Structure 1
């Protein structure tokens, strides 16, 4: 047996042993439903920091993201700003949800919203969102693991067979140990995820020949033919730049992908980048992250996770090492057209592993880029191949495990216990929670088996659904104006709009996928929030508002900004809007040229394309913005006033939705 395969099985066995250990320990610790579903509200500081980071950035970060940078260049690399966009949602909502969970004893977001709006319909819709998010999102993680092991075992395990086999251990430790097991395994997975991306980036840079050779390769990759005015590789933007180092404008009034008038020069316009990141904000607004919030001992870990672990550390890793993986693969033999024109700039180490496949010309092969980069070490460091494979496996399982556990909890608490077995014992709830995990994994495997979409873009569909939870979270955390009727109708409309502007529904519509280069998350939230506001204005009721104010009076009493800082609220709005406009929105078009002419490498101010320098600048400013909001504006700090619990578990009392709390 090949040495790399032996090392692969050795490291996988060690990793699985750790997972099963925590599965058993979690099962022994889970005496009550609260213990099983939200770790008894005892998740500690460092466990949450690492676990929430692993859950936010997973297999599609490790596997799919570099492949799309390879395909689309630095215009897609703006998606790396999800290191800031994802925890931005947490800054707005996690602390306040933790406070409400501690105060009223909520275990699931369905319980919280049903109690707040006095409606079981919103409870059912939350479970629906959890499922339509979790199943495809989990599916892409499992399929990515199958891809990886198919390559690294030299086709010993087929993609489909591999992902089904690799799912077994995940089911065992998640179903047995609940959220406590997931959190402790995720803590190690976060380290493996970040470390793996860094190591693969270093290996890629080494094989290219260093930063100088990388810069020379980018300069050649982005040349414009002086005779035709067209890019030698890739496409040409409307401004005459290579699509690899320029976004194609603010917006393009094309019908959308899959239509006759597809975007020119790439799809990643300023508004496309902004709305795509809006979709990725859906990661921490999903029902699963509400349960993560409820499971914490205190809000103390929220700010360091959002600012330092996510925005700063993961942000730097994505901006630098992931970009090197994606762009650098052109200079390692993955791009046969570039190799034919500039053989002196290519170290053709990928030829054997790729077996002649040109990733740019092969549909869906971008998802195989990272496995091929890992494969490069097969002869020189087979042990490192095994370790990096476990890093990738950990990255893919981190998010999947969290969504399996929380979705199983919502099925049990919000459907079974509420409507079928209201007096279910703690043992029954744990049993049905475990069965829910198994059913969700089977459904996810079926999706992964039948889907042919790129991993990252398939994940984009899932997070667009998750983003539709924003209006309900705005209502319960910030704005009592929004009513039950408005939020329910808005959520339903948002889910429909997302479906009709994504592949699943857009293929039957004249506008195609992502009309006007605006992501489906935008079209969903536009319908969602607009209807929520309009209908709320027409359905105001004094009794219901009095009930909602029980929540908001509590939050104002415990989470209001200190008097001396209230004058900074306009500044916080201005800083945030400026960052989103210029960093990841329409204003990002300035980044195409501000640090040097994209068509003239000698004019690049920092020796790298202007667009990359612009991204690094606004990443640093984004970290500053997150610090200002999370710490200085106290959106993620520990409340000044202690939160006293009214109920340890609201499910243990007879909940009357017709009476205020």
Structure 2
């Protein structure tokens, strides 16, 4: 009952924030989808951080610690690598967005590589890979509510979907950013309290807990871990996976919303600290507390959900259990709301106004965006409830699928010679290799399909770009020289002289 009441009150808070945000919104494309590019530093940083966290990440980090031991702390290397990309890549995209009015990944890729085909491939692909995550967040919360309070899964899933639908469709980006800030605070407080309470509630001191945990799962305290998973190959795989989050659509779009460039200066040191503060406690619970309490025989799924059982072993666990569910709820809703708005933005900006209604007014655009939100919520909820296996298969390729846009993003920002043909060949070729080495010939030479796909992607991008016509000097000026001048106060000589052609 405590969990149900807390969830209802928290949901009402999110809806209230959405209604208030709507009063502050300009009813324009930028106003609805980007918060008029005027979101403050705190809200921007919180929405960037907690758009990355999800239910899968929340429970997954605990399970990862239990399953693979201290090697899981290697995830932290991705945090610092990722924070560098957030600042270096994010700031350049912010400048481009301010200068040219970009609002989606398709805007950047379509114009940088002067190709409507690449724009459509980018947008449709990102929507396709993002939709399953929304459905899995909703069904995951429905299952979590059933486990925490015996609410039927369908009732919980549909109720949570309605909350998501209301505050996103009403308030747009301003609502999502502000609710992410609220949810981020809730998440952080609950995680830190949980770690503290669990450790002080254990009957043994920390050294004994660590010893018994290691006895329960041999190899827990050393590399490559109990499952001998962590290796140089997997570390590289992990670095690519974490680094590529800059091309996740809901993260990419957030690079356009900050009011000032000072946001990125603050982000440079806040992000890694904040991620460590949130992630390390969950890893420690998985590495120490869970094997200490429940032994070494849990399945991966049992390990992920074991944090609830751990809470139930201590006095006052029902109250803290409600807090744990709210933390998972906050993580899921922050990601799902960000992904939902991103899908609506890409559909409206990259497909509807570009191909279906080129003369759409701001009123038409906002209305269409809201209709798209409703449609995406319905589709995601139905698949999450009735056909979860379809979504599970899609999510298997989602993160490595996103990663195929990482090479053309980096090349587009930092290599003047990268061109349309190279970007298209690299992206499509990399994805085909990903499918081949995932489904037909899994992980040849014990190298993951993601790494093989990145090798193919980068090779094709470079070779095809060098073998075909260079981008025009207008493209080089627009995406390189003008940004260099903005960053360093000087203008470098332009390179390339090919004519811009829309494919």
What is the TM-score of this pair, normalised by structure 1?
0.69
- Give the structure 1 partner of residue 279 of structure 2: 318
Using the TM superposition, give the Cα deviation of residue 460 of structure 1 relative to its aligned residue in structure 2, in angstroms.
6.8
Residue by residue over 1:383-434, the C-alpha shift from the partner in whole angstroms, topping out at 9 and shown as x without a partner, is: 3332332122001111111111011111001001100100111111112112
Contact 1:86/1:280 (8 A) holds in 2: yes
Using the TM superposition, give the Cα deviation of residue 300 of structure 1 relative to its aligned residue in structure 2, in angstroms.
1.5
- Give the structure 2 partner of residue 431 of structure 1: 367
Are 1:247 and 2:224 counterparts? yes
Change (3 A) 1:369 1:517: farther
C-alpha distance in 2 between matches for 1:541 and 1:80: 39
Are 1:94 and 2:71 counterparts? no
- Give the structure 2 partner of residue 395 of structure 1: 331
- Give the structure 2 partner of residue 275 of structure 1: 237
The match for 2:400 among 422, 441, 464 is: 464
C-alpha distance in 2 between matches for 1:501 and 1:204: 43
- Give the structure 1 partner of residue 459 of structure 2: 530
Are 1:170 and 2:164 counterparts? yes
Are 1:126 and 2:103 counterparts? no
Using the TM superposition, give the Cα deviation of residue 311 of structure 1 relative to its aligned residue in structure 2, in angstroms.
1.0
Change (3 A) 1:284 1:539: same
Using the TM superposition, give the Cα deviation of residue 447 of structure 1 relative to its aligned residue in structure 2, in angstroms.
4.9
- Give the structure 2 partner of residue 212 of structure 1: 207
- Give the structure 2 partner of residue 442 of structure 1: 378
Contact 1:141/1:396 (8 A) holds in 2: yes
Are 1:329 and 2:290 counterparts? yes
The match for 2:417 among 476, 481, 484 is: 481
- Give the structure 1 partner of residue 321 of structure 2: 385
The match for 2:33 among 18, 26, 37 is: 37
C-alpha distance in 1 between matches for 2:365 and 2:389: 36
- Give the structure 2 partner of residue 575 of structure 1: none
Using the TM superposition, give the Cα deviation of residue 319 of structure 1 relative to its aligned residue in structure 2, in angstroms.
2.7
Are 1:27 and 2:11 counterparts? no
- Give the structure 1 partner of residue 495 of structure 2: none
Matches within 5 A, 1:198-597: 198-208=192-202, 209-221=204-216, 233=218, 242=219, 245-247=222-224, 265-308=227-270, 310-333=271-294, 335=295, 338=296, 359-360=298-299, 364-376=301-313, 380-449=316-385, 450-451=387-388, 461-502=397-438, 506=439, 509-511=440-442, 514-541=443-470, 544-560=472-488
Q: CA RMSD in A?
A: 2.8
Contact 2:114/2:500 (8 A) holds in 1: yes
Change (3 A) 1:18 1:518: farther
C-alpha distance in 2 between matches for 1:62 and 1:79: 14
Contact 2:58/2:331 (8 A) holds in 1: yes
Change (3 A) 1:371 1:88: farther
Change (3 A) 1:501 1:18: farther
Contact 1:247/1:268 (8 A) holds in 2: yes
Contact 1:85/1:278 (8 A) holds in 2: no
Q: 3-state SS of the aligned residue for 1:481?
A: coil
Change (3 A) 1:327 1:137: farther
Q: 3-state SS of the aligned residue for 2:416?
A: coil
C-alpha distance in 1 between matches for 2:87 and 2:396: 21
Using the TM superposition, give the Cα deviation of residue 124 of structure 1 relative to its aligned residue in structure 2, in angstroms.
0.6
Residue by residue over 1:334-392, the C-alpha shift from the partner in whole angstroms, topping out at 9 and shown as x without a partner, is: x3xx5xxxxxxxxxxxxxxxxxxx523xx633332233334445x62533332332122
Q: 3-state SS of the aligned residue for 2:352?
A: helix
Contact 2:62/2:283 (8 A) holds in 1: yes
Using the TM superposition, give the Cα deviation of residue 161 of structure 1 relative to its aligned residue in structure 2, in angstroms.
4.3
Using the TM superposition, give the Cα deviation of residue 553 of structure 1 relative to its aligned residue in structure 2, in angstroms.
1.1
C-alpha distance in 2 between matches for 1:498 and 1:387: 40
Change (3 A) 1:373 1:364: same
Using the TM superposition, give the Cα deviation of residue 465 of structure 1 relative to its aligned residue in structure 2, in angstroms.
1.9
Using the TM superposition, give the Cα deviation of residue 479 of structure 1 relative to its aligned residue in structure 2, in angstroms.
1.1
Residue by residue over 1:78-105, the C-alpha shift from the partner in whole angstroms, topping out at 9 and shown as x without a partner, is: 2344433433331331000000111111
Contact 2:130/2:398 (8 A) holds in 1: yes
Change (3 A) 1:541 1:115: same
C-alpha distance in 2 between matches for 1:202 and 1:454: 36
Change (3 A) 1:526 1:556: same
Contact 1:494/1:524 (8 A) holds in 2: yes
What is the TM-score of this pair, normalised by structure 2?
0.89
Change (3 A) 1:462 1:307: farther
Are 1:51 and 2:28 counterparts? no
Q: Which structure 1 segments of 5+ residues have no match?
A: 223-232, 234-241, 249-263, 339-357, 564-655
Residue by residue over 1:578-637, the C-alpha shift from the partner in whole angstroms, topping out at 9 and shown as x without a partner, is: xxxxxxxxxxxxxxxxxxxxxxxxxxxxxxxxxxxxxxxxxxxxxxxxxxxxxxxxxxxx
How many residue pairs get aligned? The number is 492
31-40 vs 324-333, which deviates more? 324-333
Q: Which structure 2 segments of 5+ residues have no match?
A: 492-498
Higher helix proportion: 2
Contact 1:117/1:484 (8 A) holds in 2: yes
Change (3 A) 1:206 1:63: same
Change (3 A) 1:265 1:289: closer
Residue by residue over 1:117-136, the C-alpha shift from the partner in whole angstroms, topping out at 9 and shown as x without a partner, is: 22101111221232133223
